[in-house]
Amino acid sequence: MTRLSQLGAAAAALAFTAVSTASLAQQKVTWRMQSAFGSSLTHLGPSGVRFTKDVEEMTDGNFSIKFHEPGALVPALECFDAAAKGSVDACWTTPGYHTGKYPALAFFTTVPFGPGYGEFFAWKIFGNGNKLRQEIYDKHDLVSIDSFAIGPETSGWFRREIKSTDQLKGLKMRFFGLGAQVMQKLGVSTQLLAAADIFPALERGVIDATEFSMPAMDIKLGFHQVAKFNYFPGWHQQVSVSELLMPKKTYNALPRSYKRILEVAAGYQVHYTYAETEATQFGVMAEMQKKHKVQIKRWSDRDLAAFEKAWLEVLKEESAKDPLFKKIADDYLEFRKQYAVWGDSQTMKPTYLPKGSAAKQQ
């Protein structure tokens, strides 16, 4: 009986090992991920590289995601179609790059005169934001996860000083998202260019001005070599959120644990990248001013009022002609209205702050 028990135990152990080995083999997954941002582009690209490394480490190498530079698999701005067709396994991109298909997708990246980090994610996660985004992606069998976030941007690099929004009329400018429609209202001819295409266009005079992102990224792209006037605040992008975009079929084929790992790894990049962007810009701005003679300018209250007026016109017009846009805009605005009960109660007026504080000087 003892001998039989030993044989039985050995057989069970072998069976368990065989099942475990088979299970482990089944969980070997290799993906190709197209990034819209180069791996060397500060904040945006490295966040994608970190993400792939985190996923690989958390799965002991069983889930490998290959980071592909912009254009390696598909053009940087064409990830939506590639993912929908299953040509790629994932894209490290932004909903704002898909607005040619659905203008309303811009709401899930950033909104002119929009909320800060906390309020925006409150709407996306606990409001209806991400649910509404998924309703759009369901039409194309796509799945999206928030992948990283960055802080407020600059609102433009100009060759000459802009003393009034009246001087914007007739300019050709690279601009992103809903902010581009605001600029069009003010007479600017806008176009959306991927990061690598902006400097050549600016240098050759194809465009007269540009916005892209934050000082630490803009200096990497060399805008300061051509345009010496950098304007703030970034009224069009107070916070920007990107996404991991995947074919639903590819995503659904993953083990449940791997799906959760994707969420955790992407969520960490939201936290890490936002903090990184907030910690990095002031040193770069000082370098721009001292070394590269860049003039840091701030829009006047009159100019900001003109931008906001144009934005409200865009909001009204787009809502009137696009039911989907209106549905998302109404939900977003209603959440902001409700949030204001909390948000406004926490706002401190600069006049009440200590003399010399950063907020006082704004």
Same topology between domain 24-150+239-279 and domain 156-238+295-353: yes
Q: In what order do the strands lie in the sheet with 63-68?
A: 63-68, 29-35, 90-93, 240-247, 142-150
CA distances from 60 to 28, 33, 262, 263, 267 (A): 10, 19, 14, 17, 19
pLDDT in tens, 7-63: 454 444 444 444 444 444 458 999 999 999 999 999 999 999 999 999 999 999 999
Q: Which residues pair with 35 in a beta bridge?
A: 92
What average pLDDT score do residues 219-241 get?
Answer: 96
Residue 188: φ, ψ to 5°: -90, 140
Give the per-residue pLDDT at 1. 44
User: Which residues make Cβ contacts (< 8 Å) with residue 211, sequence separation at least 6?
Assistant: 153, 154, 155, 156, 157, 173, 174, 175, 176, 179, 234, 236
Among 25-39, 161-175, 197-211, name the one with the lowest average pLDDT. 25-39
Amino acid at 46: P
What average pLDDT score do residues 339-344 get?
Answer: 94
DSSP 22: H
Please tell me the distance from the alpha carbon of residue 304 to that of residue 311, in angstroms, as a whole number.
10
Residue 184 has pLDDT above 80, yes or no: yes
Locate 113 and state its tokens. Answer: 């005169």
Question: Does an H or E element contain 31, and which?
Answer: strand 29-35
DSSP 294: P
Give the helix ranges, DSSP H, for the chain: 2-26, 44-58, 79-85, 117-121, 129-138, 177-185, 195-204, 215-221, 248-252, 256-291, 301-321, 323-343, 358-361
**Measuring CA to CA, which residue among 75, 81, 86 is closest to residue 101?**
81
pLDDT in tens, 310-335: 999 999 999 999 999 999 999 999 99
Residue 339: φ, ψ to 5°: -65, -30
What average pLDDT score do residues 72-96 get?
Answer: 96
What average pLDDT score do residues 162-174 get?
Answer: 97
Q: Residue 3's pLDDT band (boundaries 50, 70, 90)?
A: low
Among 2-6, 39-43, 117-121, 203-207, name the one with the lowest average pLDDT. 2-6
Q: What percent of the chain has pLDDT over 90?
A: 87
User: Which residues make Cβ contacts (< 8 Å) with residue 342, sequence separation at least 6?
Assistant: none
Residue 73 has pLDDT above 90, yes or no: yes
pLDDT in tens, 242-284: 999 999 999 999 999 999 999 999 999 999 999 999 999 999 9
Give the per-residue pLDDT at 347. 81
Please tell me the distance from the alpha carbon of residue 319 to that of residue 330, in angstroms, as a whole number.
9
Q: Cβ distance 31 to 253 under 8 Å?
A: no
Question: Strand, coil or helix: what is 269?
Answer: helix
Domain 156-238+295-353 has CATH 3.40.190.10: yes
Please tell me the distance from the alpha carbon of residue 243 to that of residue 149, in angstroms, as a whole number.
9
Domain 24-150+239-279 has CATH 3.40.1260.10: no
pTM: 0.86
**Measuring CA to CA, which residue among 185, 201, 150 is closest to residue 311?**
185
- Ordered by start, the domain boundaries in the chain are 24-150+239-279, 156-238+295-353
What average pLDDT score do residues 208-225 get?
Answer: 95
pLDDT in tens, 114-160: 999 999 999 999 999 999 999 999 999 999 999 999 999 999 999 99
The average confidence (pLDDT) of the chain is 91
